Structure 1
Amino acid sequence: MSEQQRAEVPASAADGPTLTVAAVARRLGVAPATLRTWARRYGLGPSSHTAGSHRRYTAADLARLVVMRRLTHEGLSPAQAAQYALSNESAAAEVDDNLLDLLGDTPARAGGGRVVPLPEASPAVRGLARASMTLDAHGISEVLRRQVRTQGVIRTWEALASPVLIGLGERFATTGDGIEVEHIFSECLMGVLRATTESLERPRNTAQVLLACVGEEQHSLPLHALAAALAERGVLARQLGHRVPSSALLSAVRRSGPAVVVLYASMPVVDQDLLGEVDRVRPKPRVLVGGPGWGRNVPATVTRVESLSDTVEEVIASIL
């Protein structure tokens, strides 16, 4: 057993597991000073005492702090979040009984004071950006899962995830700093979207839907969001991923005979002749293109889509 693990052994088996301020801070990914502020201002402090009058957090204390952290990540003010955590025992009771194990042996790192400037964003967007800046993967995923479960993929993507991604991207473009923040947020979002897609057990469609990023495009998140949004509607889509060469895409279209092909590009597409070649495949698929990389000159037989919600409706109208 390591020195850290020994420091976190319960004071008494009868009292249940307890943790020090430092141990709780590591697990939640917040600074110890933040925990002391929450205890002083909002009454969310430790309730257990050990020899020498050192106060320690019980599982119930920690459950309330998990609720507090989640709500602040979702955009509530600390005062509102604390009031909810203290007055709604059912919310804390929803936290896994094995809370200490749930938070893991590898604690989160507390972040610094850096922020993403999002003056026009909603409180929920700012809260999720704060979680990203602390590299709190557990908190990011928790918020995104709850939003997908309650609001759906399209709403989560358009009102929450996209503004955070834009804010993180603009921060990196301005300062050259924070690529790790953008990466951890993207990985968490990708995991939530994939889990949603994989939850589809009985697809409604027999006609194939094919999704691909063309040319040198490496940002496949929009297509993962599309696949997840379609899965919510009972539609299964096949993903080819990022940087799909024209020859590979044409081969896939010929072999699978999709009814709909969705092509995404945020970078300028050099080989726009690809659209004509896909259009000549028989049986002829419907072709949708999204992203700013296509410019304005696309063939009349190709449908341009501007948003996730529009793309979902176009795909469903074509196959169901």
Structure 2
Amino acid sequence: MTGPPAEAAVTTGVLARRLGVSPTTLRSWDRRYGLGPTGRSPGGHRRWSPTDIAMAEEMCRLTASGAPPAEAARVALLRFAPGGGQESREAPAPRPPGPGAVPDVPPAAAAARPGGPGGGLPLGDVRQECRGLARSAVRLDAPELDHRLRDAVRHHGLAVAWEEVMVPTLRAVGRKWESSGDRYVEVEHLLSWHISSTLRSAPLLLPSAPPPAKAPPVVLACTPGEQHSLALEALTAALGERGVPTRTLGAAVPAEALQACVRRTGPTAVVLWAQTRSTASVPLARHVAGLQWGAAGARRRPVVLPAGPGWGQPARSGFPHCTGLRDAVAVLSRLYDEDRGARPAPVGAG
């Protein structure tokens, strides 16, 4: 093997898992900036030496701290590559510093702080997938976000991917946003967008049986004035995985529109999401729970499930209570199965 000793070198896949990036990202750095492996195995496969690994780690640290990729690559090559980075294919090679001179480090990179295992986000004790997802979000690496989110759904299923990968990362971004003024807004928006896209594509990622035709659905809606609908998208996807039909209305649904949907669809249950107490409406929940449809003598009503942190314990009195996504899926699946057994024929609009 040429270059570093075989026992000190690793493959691109191993290094990608260690850094929390995709192999495609590492190959892109090699192709665009000359930041790649220098050794080869006896079979001709490229291997990353300890110096190559140090360059890649520096690249991750600088980009996670906000440095542009081209500048981060130039600094990483300057610090670790033999010859000071003359092989970089995008940025010009830096001039060799004179005796005692300070290397020409870009201001953004020089002021950058270590990104940490989660790209500088306050993650705490979380799954390893959260750290890779956080690093991708901080770097605004959209293709990598898609790759990691889809992998989490495929490997763990909707409920675990949502509760143990997506939500902890979203909360970490939110905490960083709150403590950094207007910084990290773009990170939160990009991460939310890609989580939403992944949840909506869940039927393509997971095996699921289609619901029976004209089966009574579960209606999911945010209360009037509530704009946070990502949790409803997660619940919609998780119910779809179980074959439970849904009608998801999304954010800030007017009370009149919600009532019209309930009367027209005859749902098994209605989920009302409220993120804050100011948007949780107990009168609305009670009114929806009192809606009726069907023929005289066989009138039916929906089960209303208030969901979200906006509903305090007094507000939930008299309604089913769920502690998380998996609990909500179990409750709604049971209600759906019971309702289908009670009414084998579809209910007409009333």
The reply to whether residue 152 of structure 1 matches residue 184 of structure 2 is no
Q: 1:198-237 maps to which residues of 2 (within 5 A)?
A: 202-204=210-212, 206-237=215-246
More helix by share: 1
Contact 1:168 1:181 in 2 (8 A): yes
**Deviations 1:156-190 (Å, cap 9, x if unpaired)?**
00110010000001100111210110111111111
**Deviations 1:67-116 (Å, cap 9, x if unpaired)?**
x99xx9xxxxxxxxxxxxxxxxxxxxxxxxxxxxxxxxxxxxxx975621
Aligned to 1:291, which of 276, 288, 308? 308
- Cα distance, 1:295–1:30 mapped onto 2, change above 3 Å: farther
Aligned counterparts of 1:295 and 1:151: Cα–Cα separation in 2: 30
| Other-structure match for 2:92 | none
Q: 1:111-190 maps to which residues of 2 (within 5 A)?
A: 113=115, 115-176=120-181, 177-190=183-196
Identity %: 34
Aligned counterparts of 1:291 and 1:319: Cα–Cα separation in 2: 21
**Deviations 1:261-296 (Å, cap 9, x if unpaired)?**
111111113532001111111121011111111122
The reply to whether residue 242 of structure 1 matches residue 255 of structure 2 is no
Aligned counterparts of 1:156 and 1:270: Cα–Cα separation in 2: 27
**What displacement does 1:258 show?**
0.6
**Deviations 1:11-64 (Å, cap 9, x if unpaired)?**
xxxxxxxxxxxxx9798489977x63x526x879xx99xxxxxxxx9xxxxxxx
**Deviations 1:106-133 (Å, cap 9, x if unpaired)?**
xxxxx97562122322322111100100
Contact 2:216 2:265 in 1 (8 A): no
Aligned counterparts of 1:30 and 1:304: Cα–Cα separation in 2: 52
| Other-structure match for 1:278 | 288
SS at match of 1:294: coil
Residue ranges of structure 1 left out of the alignment (5+ in a row): 1-23, 49-56, 58-67, 73-110
SS at match of 1:305: coil
| Other-structure match for 2:66 | none
Alignment TM-score, normalising by the size of structure 2: 0.60
Q: Supply the AA of the counterpart residue of 1:39.
A: P
**What displacement does 1:300 show?**
4.0
Q: Which moved more, 1:116-125 or 1:144-153?
A: 116-125
Q: Supply the AA of the counterpart residue of 2:172.
A: G
Contact 1:207 1:259 in 2 (8 A): yes
- Cα distance, 1:29–1:131 mapped onto 2, change above 3 Å: farther
Alignment TM-score, normalising by the size of structure 1: 0.65
| Other-structure match for 1:62 | none
Aligned to 1:191, which of 163, 180, 197? 197
**What displacement does 1:208 show?**
1.3
Contact 2:209 2:241 in 1 (8 A): no
| Other-structure match for 2:332 | 315
- Cα distance, 1:152–1:26 mapped onto 2, change above 3 Å: closer
Aligned counterparts of 1:290 and 1:192: Cα–Cα separation in 2: 22
- Alignment root-mean-square deviation, CA: 3.3
Aligned counterparts of 1:287 and 1:198: Cα–Cα separation in 2: 30
- Cα distance, 1:187–1:214 mapped onto 2, change above 3 Å: same
**What displacement does 1:198 show?**
6.7
SS at match of 2:313: coil
Q: Which moved more, 1:111-120 or 1:246-255?
A: 111-120
| Other-structure match for 1:105 | none
- Cα distance, 1:279–1:32 mapped onto 2, change above 3 Å: same
